[in-house]
Structure 1
């Protein structure tokens, strides 16, 4: 992550980023000196410095003139984390304060609006492929109680879900991944798959991995299936290599019977139509 990315994550304006960057190079200085060094209008520099001080990134040293000194970089990042934590706690408090009245107002409206929804309409909802689908996939990992099953070509999106995978492994979730056989992949995807599998086997040996010897008609992640059809959730999409991701959507279902069917398919392929990576080394 670059310096610019960090400052953007801190929520700093352009002038604030410029001022803090220059302060970290100059050390203790006055506002006019900083304004000249950083190219910030003198009429703006005091407001910029006051804002940085309010966030806890800069300390103000009284005097005539006042001096400004940046906190050490590590303290700046620690303060940024604390600021975000406090903002989050305040947000949660505000939401909880309004929860009862919000539910009383909109709960009945939602129930009335949903009275005519058919079972077929309740089977799926969709999200765009990319960050929305990856966010939902991470949520499924985090909310799983017992098991997670993954069907994927090369697990090429693994980096974006790895923290959620690590969380699931730490919680003792039974996690298995079924990938396409490397012989069916082009060289680029084969190499990408190999890197992911090597990393999984080294960092998460608890994760089961096998290669499907046949094509997989759908890709996705499912969690907590039940043959009683009363639990389970899945996100899936059909394989369409000729359709770019920005034009694709993933389906999400909480229908227990459907998730159980997806899991049955996974189990059959895992048991009868797949090889372990070790057999291919």
Structure 2
């Protein structure tokens, strides 16, 4: 952390910061001298110095005229830490004073609002397809503890999630992806898929890839499914070719049973309806 960062954390105004910086170079001086040296208006300099004294960064020395002297840098930092601690303790005390009244007022409101939530809303929440869904997908990769499973047509969005994939590989996450067989793709998507597969096989050989000739009624990413239905997360969207991407939404679920069901579908297709030898330029 540089000196600029330290001054930022002290919470000083621009004039206070300028004054303290100049005082640390000048040492003991008068307000008029400081105003002249630091370029602070004389009408403002006394208020600035009073504030620095109140914070414990500068001490006032009585006399005619009064002088001002900065405390040593170590004492300034110690005092700043103590000031922040006192502010926090005051904040906590004020919050506790208001806790009972706040909970009494807003607790029932929250409970009443929750009564209208449907089972479907508890099972899923949705995000727009595009940047929001890609951001959530990256998060799922980064938060995965053991394994990630992907169902995708051509993995055309791979570039947007690649940093998260690389992180998952480095952490030893078990990664597998099921893609549509190139023979089932249009020429443009086939070329996109080929480039992605070459990239993955060349840079992330740990990432298992297989291809299915069957249709994929839904596509998405699954993380950490649990046979006990008590863990896991998934993001998915269903096949809706007639709806443009900018109008589509992806569903995210943390329901362990639902995630386990999605993973069951993945494993069945992976084991019984897929093959490895397709997609790359070397195949």
Deviation of 1:277 (Å): 2.9
Runs of 4+ in structure 1 off by over 2 angstroms are 97-102, 104-121, 277-280
Give the secondary-structure state (helix, strand or coil) at the position aligned to 2:169.
helix
Alpha-carbon RMSD across the aligned residues, in angstroms, is 2.6
Alignment of 1:142-221 (within 5 A): 142-221=142-221
Q: How many residues align?
A: 185
**Aligned counterparts of 1:154 and 1:184: Cα–Cα separation in 2:** 10
**Aligned counterparts of 1:231 and 1:99: Cα–Cα separation in 2:** 35
Query: Contact 1:151–1:220 at 8 Å: present in 2 too?
Result: yes
Deviation of 1:201 (Å): 0.2
Name the larger-Rg structure: 2
Task: Decide which moves more: 109-118 or 185-194.
Answer: 109-118
Tell me: CA distance 1:169–1:242, structure 2 relative to 1, closer, same or farther (3 Å). Answer: same
Q: Which runs of 5+ in 2 are unaligned?
A: 1-83
Query: Contact 1:225–1:263 at 8 Å: present in 2 too?
Result: yes
Residues 3-56 of structure 1 deviation map (CA, whole Å, 9 limit, x = unaligned):
xxxxxxxxxxxxxxxxxxxxxxxxxxxxxxxxxxxxxxxxxxxxxxxxxxxxxx
Deviation of 1:240 (Å): 1.5
**Aligned counterparts of 1:132 and 1:99: Cα–Cα separation in 2:** 35
Residue 239 (structure 1) aligns with: 239
TM-score (norm 1): 0.61
Give the secondary-structure state (helix, strand or coil) at the position aligned to 2:160.
helix
Tell me: CA distance 1:191–1:143, structure 2 relative to 1, closer, same or farther (3 Å). Answer: same
Residue 87 (structure 1) aligns with: none
Q: Which runs of 5+ in 1 are unaligned?
A: 1-92
Query: Contact 1:209–1:277 at 8 Å: present in 2 too?
Result: no
Alignment of 1:224-235 (within 5 A): 224-235=224-235
TM-score (norm 2): 0.60
Give the secondary-structure state (helix, strand or coil) at the position aligned to 1:122.
helix
Deviation of 1:117 (Å): 3.1
Matching of residue 124 in structure 1 with residue 99 in structure 2: no
